[in-house]
Chains A and B, each alone.
Chain A
Amino acid sequence: MSFDTNNADPVALVVAPPVSVKPGRKKGGLLWLLNARLAIGLIILLVMGLGSFILPFFAPADPSIQATYMRNLPMSGVHWLGTNSLGQDIFWFLVFAIKNSLMLGILVAVGVTIVATIVGLSAGYIGGMFERIVMLFVDTFITIPLLPILIILGALIRGNTSFFTVGLIIIIFGWAWDARTVRAMALSLREREFINMARFSGANTVDILAKEIFPYVSAYILVGFINTVLFAINTEATLAVIGLSKVEVPTLGSIIFWALSYNALFTGQYPWIVAPIVATVTLFLGLFLTSTGFNQAFAAKRGVS
């Protein structure tokens, strides 16, 4: 069977096997819900994405530089969320954090999608011994727990490398789930009626790939892409929270790292800790709603309903 969603973690594999498609079968009433999901998700992403990419041009100072302002200022008209114990403006730090996290997420997702598509498709179509060996590696990479490995590598590269090396490492250890999903898809596509139908109708391989397989696969790739963005942002942030990423770069994780290490909880600096929590939850909800919304919209459009 094919998995409807591909994801970098096992979690979403079961969230949306074709089953989740079935609600669309019943009435048009649910279609409104699907679109609502997608719409809300897209609006959140649009606002946060545009905001975080345009606003930095108007930033009064680079928020990653310490001691730009007085420390621990309360919320005011000048500093909307106040300043932190390092003399940085919390609002601008947060804006840059969202931008950096999104950029990292998108870059990692591009890398993971390319690697996973090549590995998964080749394994699925070539088959035989090649497939078995490739899948053995895929299974191994899935089995190796990611966080322990990242902790080691984080300790290894911390400080003496760029922020994007972190992204590269996430790609190296994050492609396996997607590759597995793509292979499952390739396997199931080989057997599908509509592919056989096209073949019997005299379509050549290029036609089948472009007109039959690609439209089918592209939906999955898009959903998988969004899920990988989620996964990448989450992984980098997790590393940053425990101080093993490049914490000087503002990201959704590093802001919490600094807040925790300066005991924002003890000193009662709510904005410092609450603002990134709210921002992260909103962003992740937006990504998740977009991905499941797309998933359902595509399922409905494919005529599974």
Chain B
Amino acid sequence: MGVLAYVAKRFGLYLAVLFIGLTITFMLPRFMPINPVDGYIGQIQSRANGTLTPEAIAEMRVNLEVLYGLKGDIFTQYLSYLKRVVIDFDFGPSFTYYPTEVSTMIVTALPWTLGLLLTATVIAWLLGNMVGLVAGYFHKHKAASILEFVGILLYPIPYYILAVSVLLILAYIFPIFPLSPTFPVGEMTWAKVGMIIYNSLLPAITLVLAGFGWNILSMKALAVATTEEPYVTYARLKGASNWTRMTRYVFRNALLPQVTALALSLGMIFNGALLTEIIFSYPGIGLIMRTAATGGDYNVLYGAITLSILAVATAGLVIDLIYPLLDPRIRTK
């Protein structure tokens, strides 16, 4: 099979997944019982102390429906939605923070989410894989089972429990970190950057702990299996040192599934990131979504979900495309 055919096939799947994802995203909020236009009109009405005439309200309703793409039957809405999202990446203005554009809100929040998420995921992956490799390579030693035990203990703990425990231990019992962190916005100075990093440590620690346990367990299982392979035995007979065998022979081969896992866990941590941001009031996409969900803010929800689907699907695509580079066996097939 040619490389081109492989890439084309994978890309086709990517587009199909995106299309179905976008369609489901479009349909979901339409079933919400909260009618955002009614809510918005109610807000303006109460601000004007009920002095608006019915004609003015009717006119406002028409204007709002046009503005938010709620005009016409659901099929027309769907077509114009696809056109706006796919071609312009435009989600319209937010209801709650009118006239701020949703894309502006997302662009402001995205660096926060990405900064926290990428750093924490990569650290958790590296640390977990190192510990897992050692635990797997030396799995006949008693000490190795202690390392694995850390993984067993950490992995099944739900994310919110980790977050609350970390908060309890590191902010309350040992007040190293602030209980309610603040994240200054606006112009960046060095003092502010320091403060942001300091305040981000708590959510970051939670994210690292959450990803850590799983990486240990999976890397350990892979390393144990690889250690039993004949070529590792051969390397030992050849006189290769423990270190060389562990890194060059076992690690290199056990790494492959872990790279796929990294992409998948990026998707899962996108879930985790939302929760972190809500629990630690960290100003990223998660916090925006939470506010949008309670306020019935369609456009913001669309934007945030579309973005997360896009991110997860793209991560999968990229990993699948660079996989042949990492695994020479696939290339030669």
Chain A interfacial positions (CB closer than 8 Å to B): 9-11, 14-17, 19-20, 22-23, 136-137, 139-140, 143-149, 151-156, 160, 230, 233-234, 237-238, 241-242, 244, 253, 256, 260, 265-266, 273-274, 277, 280-281, 284-285, 287-289, 292
A-B contact pairs, 28 of them (CB 8 A): A11-B214, A14-B221, A14-B257, A15-B155, A136-B20, A140-B16, A143-B21, A145-B267, A145-B305, A148-B271, A148-B274, A151-B293, A152-B28, A153-B28, A155-B32, A160-B33, A230-B156, A237-B160, A238-B158, A238-B160, A241-B279, A242-B290, A256-B161, A256-B164, A265-B167, A277-B161, A280-B157, A289-B152
**A143 with B312: CB separation less than 8 A:** yes
**B218 with A288: CB separation less than 8 A:** no
**A284 with B157: CB separation less than 8 A:** yes
Give the shortest distance, in Å, between B135 (CB) and chain A (any CB).
12
**A288 with B172: CB separation less than 8 A:** no
Considering the complex, which residues of chain B in the window 210-225 have a beta carbon less than 8 Å from any beta carbon of chain A?
Answer: 214, 217-218, 221-222, 224-225
**A281 with B157: CB separation less than 8 A:** yes
Give the shortest distance, in Å, between A107 (CB) and chain B (any CB).
19
**B312 with A288: CB separation less than 8 A:** no
**A151 with B221: CB separation less than 8 A:** no
**A23 with B161: CB separation less than 8 A:** no
Q: Which residues of A contact B290 (CB under 8 A)?
A: 151, 242
Most chain A beta-carbon contacts within 10 A, residue among B29, B293, B316: B293
Cβ-closest chain B residue relative to A160: B33
A151-B290, A288-B152 are known; give 6 further A-B pairs, CB within 8 A: A10-B261, A11-B218, A15-B214, A140-B20, A156-B33, A230-B156
Cβ-closest chain B residue relative to A20: B221
B116 within 8 A of partner (CB): no
Most chain B beta-carbon contacts within 10 A, residue among A147, A241, A256: A147
B202 within 8 A of partner (CB): no
Contact A152:B305 (CB < 8 A) given known A23-B139, A277-B161: yes
**B274 with A147: CB separation less than 8 A:** yes
**B221 with A143: CB separation less than 8 A:** no
**A145 with B20: CB separation less than 8 A:** no
Most chain B beta-carbon contacts within 10 A, residue among A11, A22, A241: A11
Q: With the chains together, A256 CA to B304 CA distance in Å?
A: 26
Tell me which of A9, A140, A242, A277 contacts B164 (CB under 8 A). Answer: A277
Q: With the chains together, A244 CA to B217 CA distance in Å?
A: 32
Q: Which residues of A contact B160 (CB under 8 A)?
A: 237-238, 241, 253, 256
Tell me which of A9, A149, A281 contacts B305 (CB under 8 A). Answer: A149
Give the shortest distance, in Å, between B254 (CB) and chain A (any CB).
9
Considering the complex, which residues of chain B in the window 153-189 have a beta carbon less than 8 Å from any beta carbon of chain A?
Answer: 153, 155-161, 164-165, 167-168, 171-172, 179
**B158 with A242: CB separation less than 8 A:** no
Q: With the chains together, A104 CA to B17 CA distance in Å?
A: 30
Give the shortest distance, in Å, between B71 (CB) and chain A (any CB).
22
Q: Which residues of B contact A17 (CB under 8 A)?
A: 221, 257
**B156 with A152: CB separation less than 8 A:** no
Tell me which of B168, B172, B228, B270 contacts A22 (CB under 8 A). Answer: B228
B31 within 8 A of partner (CB): yes
Give the shortest distance, in Å, between B72 (CB) and chain A (any CB).
23
Q: With the chains together, A22 CA to B157 CA distance in Å?
A: 26
